[in-house]
Amino acid sequence: MGSGELNNFKAHSEETMSQSKWTGEDLPSALRQMSRLRPTDRFHRSMHARLMGEQLAMVREGRKRRSAGWFNPVEVSWAARFGRGILVLPTARAWAAAAVVLVMAVAFGMFYSTQFEPHALRVANVYGNIVLKTEDSVRTGLIPGMAIPQGSTLITDEGALVDLTLSEDLTFEIVGATQMSFTSLPSRPWMKDTAIEIATGTLLVRSRNQADRKEFPLVVTTPQAVVEPVGTVFGVTVDPEEKTRVLVTEGKVLVEQREFNSLLFVRSGEYVQAIDGVSEMARLPIDRGSDPLCRVLDGFESREWADRMVMGHMPAQFVDRVPTVYLDIGPGHNPTRLERLMQPCDILTNIQHPQELWELLHDASYLVKLGIMHQKPAHLERSLNLIDQVLQSYSNEAYNMELMLWKASLHNALGKPQQALDDLEAALASPNIGHFKSLVYSAMAKIHEDMANVEQAKVFYGKVIKEGANSPEYELALQKVNSL
């Protein structure tokens, strides 16, 4: 509402109330006339509602006092009514009261503008070490109810947990070591966007339908992505130097890859990653059993604050992996294992490991799926680099064999058969090769067959036969030996 509209609103209200002379039966009709004035600004809408409510309360109180014989109506200024509604006092004190109420109105207006700004991010609950940085100050020790000024930055330590509210329709939770800023979105000056900018860390968001939020739509930005919720519960994790991951458990969000401006809707039960240098994104199903972010999101609304606080203070989570479900399809004569191994595949491990290792394997798997979906060899190459990181930093005989099989399938898909054979030789040397030996021999035979090395192919198919008739690849090897 502009100043002209506000002055007209005041003047019309004064005239309407003056005509009613505060006498009983005409006042409700005057209030009805005032109610037709519809301020467009949120602040003045709230003041309009406050004024109307207090005036109606005065009507009831005035009738009571008039019936008692001592009611004496007093004309008071707009400022007095604005600050405290309608004042009913004996005439002798009217001017003094009006002056006092005028001061109260001014003070209330100043207090309201600084402490109860409708568009303000507020702390609801807080646990752990949090630093609030503004343009001119640095503060620690945040308390519930405190406003987070626009343009400020929140920095939390590992194990911290902070609940924030922007309105009844927008709530946030910061989990662990995170750096987040509350600002407007410079790239969209024509919109009054509420921008939550995450430099690093994890943020959970619950938002109602954005179509209903015309004044302050929400946008979450990261170094790699812009995320716009469309009525949803979702989580965002940010590695500032590499990727942004968005996981949705309710509703849907629109994710934009900032570097290449690619767009993708992500719906409930799906996740997507925006990766530096990768133009494509892919929607993939959430692994609810092992995904750390999914487990935190599942309890975002259901857990009490005390339970969330305990979870936020827990050390790095360990994740259960399903043992070799991709290749270990059970006993019997079935060539499916070999078909799967000859294509890039998602080989899982049967151990518990820290979240950092889980993320490396998860990202490698994501890039494989992305590469197959978009026919991009570069994505498979990046997946190979991640597997090498795991083998260098987290080498363990419990799963090294599976990772070597994974590398072999990727090298084969990239048209590098000799490197695939080297990976398979390394897998054979693993003490955990077990009943996968016949599978590895079959894969080596198939690669030699594709390279037109028929004699070498027969040698390895013969090794499969020597492994025994219980091998899933036994019948396939017999057929190949007889047909080559």
Boundary residue ending a domain (313, 346, 372): 313
CA 216 to CA 378: how far, in whole Å?
A: 40
pLDDT over 90 (residue 64): no
Residues 348 and 458 grouped into a single domain? yes
pLDDT greater than 70 at residue 79: no
Q: What is the pLDDT of residues 184-242, one digit of tens each?
A: 655 544 445 668 899 999 999 988 666 555 555 678 999 999 998 877 889 999 987 78
Residue 437 sits in the same domain as residue 422: yes
Residue 53 has what pLDDT? 55
The predicted pLDDT at position 402 comes to: 84
Same domain, 231 and 277: yes
Residue 386 has pLDDT above 70, yes or no: yes
Task: Please tell me which residue, 472 or 168, carries the higher pLDDT value.
Answer: 472
Mean pLDDT across 162-176: 85
Which of residues 115, 145, 172 is at a domain's end? 115
**Given a cut of 80, is residue 13 above it in pLDDT?**
no
Please tell me the pTM assigned to this model.
0.60
The 10s digit of each residue's pLDDT in 457-475 is: 999 999 999 988 888 888 8
Give the C-alpha separation, 157 to 129, whole Å. 6
Kindly report the three-state secondary structure assignment for every residue of 393-405: HCCCCCCHHHHHH
Confidence (pLDDT) at 195: 82
Place of tokens 């996968």: 436
Distance, C-alpha 22 to centroid of its chain: 54
Quick one: 159 and 298 in the same domain?
yes
Give residue 214's pLDDT.
Answer: 53
Name the most confidently modeled range: 38-42, 51-55, 282-286: 282-286
In angstroms and rounded to an integer, the radius of gyration of the C-alpha atoms of the chain is 34
H-helix segments, 375-434: 377-393, 400-413, 417-428
**Per-residue confidence (pLDDT) for residue 375, from 0 to 100:** 85
Instruction: Check residue 365 and give its pLDDT.
Output: 86
pLDDT of residue 446 exceeding 90, the answer is yes
**Domain identity same for 152 and 197:** yes
Counted residue by residue, the chain has a size of 484
> Nearest-CA neighbor of 360 among 328, 396, 408?
396
Residue 276 CB contacts under 8 Å (≥ 6 apart), including other chains: 223, 224, 241, 242, 243, 259
C-alpha triplet 336, 339, 342: angle, nearest 5°: 150
Over residues 310-327, the pLDDT tens digits come to 444 333 333 344 444 456
- The number of domains in the chain is 3
Same domain (yes/no): 176, 243: yes
Using a 10 angstrom Cβ sphere, with 0-12 exposed, 13-18 middle and 19 or more buried, the burial of residue 436 is buried
Above 80 in pLDDT, residue 335?
A: no
Kindly tell me if the per-residue pLDDT of 301 is higher than 80: no
Pairing between β-strand 170-183 and β-strand 153-156 as defined by DSSP bridges:
antiparallel
Check whether residue 306 and residue 432 sit in a common domain: no
Q: Cα dist. 42→39, 46, 51, 106 in Å?
A: 8, 6, 14, 19
Same domain, 131 and 235: yes
Read off the CATH number of the domain in which 430 is found. Answer: 1.25.40.10
Whether 257 and 272 map to the same domain: the answer is yes
CATH classification of the domain holding 282:
2.60.120.1440
Give yes or no for residue 148 having a pLDDT over 80. Answer: yes
For 214, the domain range is 121-313
- Judged against a pLDDT cut of 80, whether residue 82 lies above it is answered with no
Mean pLDDT confidence for 399-403: 85
d(CA 378, CA 142): 46
Q: Which residue has the higher pLDDT, 444 or 400?
A: 444
My answer on whether 182 and 269 are in the same domain is yes
What pLDDT score was predicted for residue 348? 63
- pLDDT confidence tier of residue 445, bands split at 50, 70 and 90: very high
Q: Which of 313, 344, 361 is the last residue of a domain?
A: 313
397 and 424 in a common domain: yes
The proportion of the chain whose per-residue pLDDT surpasses 90, expressed as a percent, equals: 24
Residue 59 has pLDDT above 50, yes or no: no
User: Are residues 323 and 246 located together in one domain of the fold?
Assistant: no
What one-character DSSP code corresponds to residue 325? T
Res 114: pLDDT: 37
- Strand pairing of 218-221 and 194-207? parallel
